[in-house]
Structure 1
Amino acid sequence: MRMLEKEEEEGDIQVSWQDQQNINTFSKYNAKLQDLEETYDTKKTEKEYLDDLASELELADEDEPVGYRIGEAFVSLSVEAAQERISNSQVELEKEIEELKSQMDEAAEKMDELKKVLYTRFGNAINLERE
């Protein structure tokens, strides 16, 4: 056995009320960022499906109606009407993806600010990195 050097000792670090508020805020942003990333991935995949569908409809016969899903039901639409609806859905989805990206960037920026404050205060005694 040996005695720990002063630098090796991990003393109890006093956590102030403000420190705890910063930790809680960081945790909230972290949870929000995870939710936003999941939603972003889902929307991105949906956008890819719509892009593929739009490409397939370009090859479809103009005279035959296509099945288009609205909610739980399928309706027959002309190829032109289906393409228009898909185009509108793509534009709407792009806007949603951009908004999600903006919210993710904002949350990440605020988390970085809190990381600086908390790492300055607690050093290696706190782990704020995502796994």
Structure 2
Amino acid sequence: MSSLSMVRICRTVKSHIVFTLCNSSRKTKKTLQRKLHGYAAAITGNHKANKERAQTEREQIDDLSMELELADEDQPVLYKLGDSFVYISLEKAQSQIEADCNALDAIIDGLKSRAEDCERSMSELKVHLKSKFKIY
């Protein structure tokens, strides 16, 4: 089958779907709207879960840095690298923890902005769908 005929089939299927949506019953439109709202809620929930996980990890690192302030400077501390623990100096551990905090802050800020963008686009989509299907 040539690519041109595939394009024609895709256009035909797409126009059939659009025609079906425009001429569908009110119940079908409400079902579609409910599914779209559920999808949007799932996306938002996923962003919130990722943000909460990053914030929890950030709090744990803050607690660890407070404990390291009380540690003896002469003794090495265990630091987790990947799946293993290594002994490093207190100063190096504190600098590594500070770098980890900065990285987590960047991740949290990115997740916040992605969540805001997602919510903004979902609200625009909601307005568009309500005007298209005239469901309130």
1:57 alignment partner AA: L
Describe the superposition over 1:9-47 as per-residue Cα deviations: whole angstroms up to 9, x where unpaired: xxx42767xxx5x87765544332221111111000000
Give 1:13's aligned residue.
Answer: 26
Check the 8 A contact 1:33/1:108 in 2, yes or no.
yes
Structure 2, unaligned stretches of length 5 or more?
1-24
Give 2:85's aligned residue.
Answer: 74
With CA pairs under 8 Å and 6+ residues apart, which has the higher RCO, 1 or 2?
1
Describe the superposition over 1:53-73 as per-residue Cα deviations: whole angstroms up to 9, x where unpaired: 111111110000110011111
TM-score by structure 1 length? 0.72
Tell me how far apart the structure 1 counterparts of residues 28 and 100 of structure 2 sit (CA, whole Å): 50
Tell me how far apart the structure 2 counterparts of residues 54 and 119 of structure 1 sit (CA, whole Å): 50
Structure 1, unaligned stretches of length 5 or more?
1-11, 124-131
Give 2:109's aligned residue.
Answer: 98
Tell me how far apart the structure 1 counterparts of residues 60 and 36 of structure 2 sit (CA, whole Å): 36
Offset, 1:112: 1.5
Between the aligned residues of both structures, percent identity stands at 33
Give 1:107's aligned residue.
Answer: 118
Shift >2 Å, 4+ stretches: 22-32, 114-120
- Residues 17-96 of structure 1 mapped to structure 2, 5 A cutoff: 27-96=38-107
Tell me how far apart the structure 2 counterparts of residues 28 and 85 of structure 1 sit (CA, whole Å): 39
TM-score by structure 2 length? 0.69
Count of aligned positions: 108
Give 1:122's aligned residue.
Answer: 135
Check the 8 A contact 1:40/1:100 in 2, yes or no.
yes
